[in-house]
């Protein structure tokens, strides 16, 4: 695939599975009904893009969207598609029959407990075989969930026998009081064939293609520079039904930790020319969008009069009152701001 940008679209949070380890799983409650994409507005936005991009569609489960096949058809007319699916919905057959395989990669997620519980393991395997027969490039991701440990070799043998290639990815979350992936034992790492497990990437002040080469889109169609911006609801760029527009500048990352290092796994496609002109930095302008105005003023010390009054009060007030009225609230504000911004 040769493309000039990536749009990572979490199309909906609903799923037909109830995986213990997934944010769209057992304890997730979908907000609102599962509606079709407004295909006309989406097509208009897509046609305005003046370069070829890769669109990654994930969920929840994308194939339960009523008109997902039509959406994928529109994307593959000019662009490339990566569809992330649990490969359990029968609509995938229509997808395989109607869409150009040369412009698509299917990434199936093998959720063993759900496949077994719903008697869908044979269908999952048969859909893999049918997709390959139709000329599609299929990959498979397996989560190294500690609950799989006892039967993990059995599952891998089953996939090997059916020529299903797979990648094993770490589990993020808590299981039996242990926090993963940080607390994988050596035995578990060996059993799951995991190496160099890294929970976060240190990204603060890194030059990143977020916005310029990479966009992410949430379930409501709102487009942001990256997942950290999306989670914090900071600096929304546009909506997918209005405009899909990449920024002119690369980004100097304002976050301490990053879970989606596009600048690492998209190295071949996104090469920075080492010219640091035109880099976007984020400071007060962005803070004001995600924090109440009075907190921004406290953090940035922009209210001169209020600061002078505070200094005057501190000089006269007893220590206990200062601690109660000023020090404790400011500490609380600091914790809130730093947690919100993913800072130290």
- Residue of 122, 66, 125, 54 whose CA lies nearest to 94: 66
Domains identified in the chain and CATH numbers: 6-199 (3.20.20.70), 284-341 (no CATH)
Residue 291 — pLDDT band, cuts 50, 70, 90? very low
pTM of model > 0.85:
no
Sheet bearing 104-109, strands edge to edge: 167-170, 137-144, 104-109, 80-85, 54-58, 6-10, 214-217, 222-224, 238-239
Portion of the chain with pLDDT greater than 70, in percent: 71
- Write down the pLDDT at residue 288: 43
pLDDT digits (tens, 9 = 90+) for 214-273: 899 999 999 998 888 887 766 789 999 999 999 887 777 777 777 775 655 566 666 655
Whole-angstrom Cα distance, residue 79 to residue 47?
10
Instruction: Give the pairing of strands 54-58 and 80-85.
Output: parallel
- Write down the pLDDT at residue 232: 73
92 sits in which H/E element: helix 91-98
Judged against a pLDDT cut of 80, whether residue 292 lies above it is answered with no
Portion of the chain with pLDDT greater than 90, in percent: 50
Whole-angstrom Cα distance, residue 233 to residue 219?
13
Task: List Cβ<8 Å contacts ≥24 apart for 236-241.
Answer: 236/289, 237/211, 240/9, 240/42, 240/45, 241/38, 241/41, 241/42, 241/45
Instruction: Give the pairing of strands 54-58 and 6-10.
Output: parallel
Q: What is the DSSP string of 317-328?
A: S-HHHHIIIIIH
């Amino acid at each position: 695939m040769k493309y000039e940008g990536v749009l990572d679209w979490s199309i909906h949070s609903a799923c037909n599975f109830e995986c213990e380890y997934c944010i769209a799983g057992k304890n997730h409650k979908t907000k609102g009904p599962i509606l079709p994409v407004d295909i006309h507005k989406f097509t208009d936005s897509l046609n305005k893009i003046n370069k070829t991009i890769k669109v990654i569609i994930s969920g929840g489960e994308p194939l339960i969207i009523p008109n997902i096949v039509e959406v994928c058809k529109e994307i593959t007319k000019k662009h490339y598609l990566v569809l992330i699916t649990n490969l359990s919905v029968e609509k995938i057959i229509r997808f395989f029959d109607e869409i150009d395989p040369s412009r698509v990669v299917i990434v199936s997620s093998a959720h063993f407990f759900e496949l077994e519980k719903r008697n869908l393991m044979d269908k999952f395997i048969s859909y893999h075989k049918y997709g390959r027969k139709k000329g599609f490039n299929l990959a498979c991701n397996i989560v190294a969930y500690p609950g799989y440990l006892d039967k993990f070799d059995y599952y891998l043998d089953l996939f090997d026998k059916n020529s299903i290639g797979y990648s094993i990815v770490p589990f993020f979350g808590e299981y039996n009081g242990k926090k993963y992936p940080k607390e994988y034992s050596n035995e578990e790492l060996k059993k799951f064939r995991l190496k160099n497990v890294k929970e976060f990437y240190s990204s603060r002040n890194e030059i990143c293609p977020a916005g310029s080469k990479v966009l992410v889109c949430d379930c409501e169609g709102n487009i942001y520079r990256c997942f950290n911006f999306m989670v914090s609801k900071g600096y929304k760029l546009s909506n997918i039904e209005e405009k899909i527009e990449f920024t002119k500048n690369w980004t100097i990352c304002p976050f301490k930790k990053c879970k989606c290092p596009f600048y690492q796994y998209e190295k071949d496609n996104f090469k920075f020319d080492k010219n640091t002109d035109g880099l976007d930095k984020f400071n007060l302008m962005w803070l004001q969008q995600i924090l109440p105005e009075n907190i921004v003023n406290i953090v940035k010390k922009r209210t001169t009069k209020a600061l002078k009054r505070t200094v005057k009060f501190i000089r006269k007030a007893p220590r206990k009152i200062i601690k109660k009225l000023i020090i404790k609230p400011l500490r609380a504000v600091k914790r809130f701001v730093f947690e919100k911004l993913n800072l130290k």
